[in-house]
Amino acid sequence: MFITLGVTGALLMFYYEPIMTRSWDSVAFINNDVPFGFHIRNLHYHGSNAMVMLAILHMYYQYFSGRYKIRNEILWVTGVILGTVTILEAFTGYDIIFSERAELAISIAASLTNSIPVAGPMIRELAFGAGFHDFVLRFYAQHVFILPIVMLGLMAVHFPRFLVFDVPMVMAVCGAMCLAGGVFPVDLGFKFEPTVPPGITVPEWYLTALYAFLRTQYDKFLTGVLWPGLFIAVLLLTPFLDRYKKFSWKDRPWVTAFGITGIAQILVTTYWGFYIPPDTTIPLVERLVIDPINLYLVMILLVPLSFGFTLMMIHLAKDAERKAKLAKANGPKKVSGINLSVKWTNWMLVALLAFQVFLNIAAYNAFLSGMNNVNLWITGVILITFAGFFHLYRYAMAQAKNIPKPPKFPTTKQIETSQESLPQTDVLPKTDVLPKTSGEKP
């Protein structure tokens, strides 16, 4: 994923201009006029979103499986920091387009940075510069150089020996990115004009939870800096706070309950950050402001609901585990898997290869017709089909290695040699002697 983003980002750098008055126009030129620019930009955009999503899912998988407990505290800490930097990398990327959406994110980020006590103004000056002209160039440098270098350093510590290059998995992920780009092509948005009032917009999905808290109009430092900072700090300290001896989520009820609560609150605030009443007769300020009482009341109510849900799921999981052990003890000892014969494997490989040829022709025809999103979608199907073909071929090769060798039959010469080596013994043939009956004459 990181390599894909690096390659597509480098191609976009050929035409992007980090100048306030030219940034949006250069991206529009890439999207509309540069050959395959539409494809490259969509791959880059959806790849960045996929990287953030995979980082979050991976973090929660490690959290609930307790992997951080087996002397992996450093890996967990570097992983949390890497996930945070990944979000910052994606955030700086969509800001340098300088659309109305980017301007909203820039203004909020600058205001939040400035609200930090003591060091806030200095950090704001360093990261954002003296104005919009300074900002575009500084964020461009952070996006293409500074943050990727930090991510590479963290990756070297986080998984130095766990990098696995699996061809079907890589192709499937790239294919999913192409499918997303074909079905949901990224929009340029409206160009930011300082003299034109911006319309209503929301930030990217991974920042809308924070945006919901900011829309309550509470203190900026409290809602935009302190709460996210505490959340990240708790994640960093999780390996040292979790004192359970077991790894399964069923045996760590408190840790699991806190994790479920966090997920529920993130989902609710993410939806709340996206939602804006569609009634245009309501004043703009009233449409944007979220009642803080309602928001924080829902956040509090989610705690007991999540704890109750967690305890219920733990009870059901342990009951299902107990029944599975009984069924395993009383049932068959071995469950047969799915084994494809050589004939069926060959037919499936031929069918996938023919489908691949058909898809390539369809993608070429879509490209000639100017249907970029259809071409990108078919490209995704091509990559996923190739992933399936490669995996099936690998399965067939593994099955061929497991076929037992046929027994070796001795040759005629070996049989004659073995017979000659046997010892010669005189054995008299047995004669059949009929028993005498009482009716016979002497």
6-27 tens-digit pLDDT: 889 999 999 998 888 888 999 9
**Tell me, what's the pLDDT at 73?**
82
The answer to whether residues 14 and 150 belong to one domain is yes
The answer to whether residues 275 and 362 belong to one domain is no
Domain membership flag for residue 372:
yes
Could you give the CA distance from residue 278 to residue 154 in angstroms, rounded to a whole number? Answer: 43
Least confident of 210-224, 245-259, 332-346, 421-435: 421-435
Query: What 8-state DSSP symbol labels residue 334?
Result: -
Neighbouring CB atoms inside 10 A of 279's CB total: 8
Residue type, position 89, single letter? E
The answer to whether residues 255 and 357 belong to one domain is no
Segment 256-277 mean pLDDT: 92
The answer to whether residues 275 and 347 belong to one domain is no
Neighbouring CB atoms inside 10 A of 313's CB total: 16
Does position 84 have pLDDT exceeding 90, yes or no? yes
The answer to whether residues 151 and 30 belong to one domain is yes
The answer to whether residues 320 and 367 belong to one domain is no
Least confident of 32-41, 87-96, 166-175, 425-434: 425-434
Q: Residue 191's beta-bridge partner residues?
A: 99
Domain membership flag for residue 203:
no
The answer to whether residues 314 and 360 belong to one domain is no
Domain membership flag for residue 412:
no
Q: Residue 99's beta-bridge partner residues?
A: 191
* Terminal CA-CA length for the chain: 107
Is this model's pTM higher than 0.75 or not? yes
The answer to whether residues 64 and 148 belong to one domain is yes
**pLDDT digit string (tens) for 157-194?**
877 555 556 778 888 888 888 998 888 888 888 888 87
Q: What is the CATH number of the domain that holds 39?
A: 1.20.810.10
Six-digit token string for 183: 């079905």
Segment 84-93 mean pLDDT: 91
The answer to whether residues 307 and 378 belong to one domain is no
- Secondary-structure percent of the chain, ordered helix, strand, coil, rounded to 5: 70, 0, 30
Which residue reads 């040699």 in tokens?
417
Mean pLDDT across the chain, nearest whole number? 84
**pLDDT digit string (tens) for 328-351?**
777 665 555 667 777 888 889 899
The answer to whether residues 285 and 386 belong to one domain is no
Does position 287 have pLDDT exceeding 90, yes or no? no
Segment 99-122 mean pLDDT: 85
Domain membership flag for residue 439:
no
The model's confidence at residue 56, banded by pLDDT at 50, 70 and 90, is very high
Total tally of structural domains belonging to the chain: 3
Could you give the CA distance from residue 276 to residue 212 in angstroms, rounded to a whole number? Answer: 11
| Contact between residue 1 and residue 47 where contact means Cβ atoms under 8 Å apart | yes
**Tell me, what's the pLDDT at 125?**
83
Segment 203-231 mean pLDDT: 88
Contacts 24+ apart (CB under 8 A), 375-378: 375/39, 375/182, 376/38, 376/39, 376/42, 376/178, 376/181, 376/182, 376/185, 377/178, 377/179, 377/181, 377/182, 377/183, 378/182
Burial of residue 326 (CB within 10 Å: 0-12, 13-18, 19+) is exposed
| Contact between residue 48 and residue 90 where contact means Cβ atoms under 8 Å apart | yes
The answer to whether residues 154 and 290 belong to one domain is no
Q: By three-state DSSP, how is residue 99 classified?
A: strand
Q: By three-state DSSP, how is residue 389 classified?
A: helix
The answer to whether residues 263 and 134 belong to one domain is no
Q: By three-state DSSP, how is residue 307 classified?
A: helix
Which residue range forms the structural domain that includes residue 275? 208-217+232-328
Does position 132 have pLDDT exceeding 80, yes or no? no
| Contact between residue 289 and residue 235 where contact means Cβ atoms under 8 Å apart | no
DSSP letter string, 144-189? IIIHHHHHHHHHHHH-SS-----HHHHHHHHHHHHHHHHHSPPP--
| Contact between residue 340 and residue 400 where contact means Cβ atoms under 8 Å apart | no
Least confident of 70-74, 154-158, 295-299, 399-403: 399-403
Which of 302, 328, 354 finishes a domain?
328
**pLDDT digit string (tens) for 355-367?**
999 999 999 999 8
Give CA separation, 366 vs 154, 183, 184, 359, 372, in Å: 41, 14, 17, 10, 7
Q: Which residues contact 394 (CB under 8 A, 6 or more apart)?
A: 168
Could you give the CA distance from residue 98 to residue 232 in angstroms, rounded to a whole number? Answer: 28
Segment 236-265 mean pLDDT: 90
Could you give the CA distance from residue 183 to residue 2 in angstroms, rounded to a whole number? Answer: 22
Does position 118 have pLDDT exceeding 70, yes or no? yes
Phi and psi, residue 72, nearest 5°: -115, 30
Domain membership flag for residue 17:
yes
Domain membership flag for residue 391:
yes
Domain membership flag for residue 254:
yes
Give CA separation, 127 vs 114, 124, 135, 328, in Å: 11, 5, 8, 60
Q: At what angle do helices 23-32 and 37-65 cross, to 10 degrees?
A: 100
Domain membership flag for residue 420:
no
Six-digit token string for 63: 């959290």
Distance, C-alpha 340 to centroid of its chain: 30
**Tell me, what's the pLDDT at 442?**
44
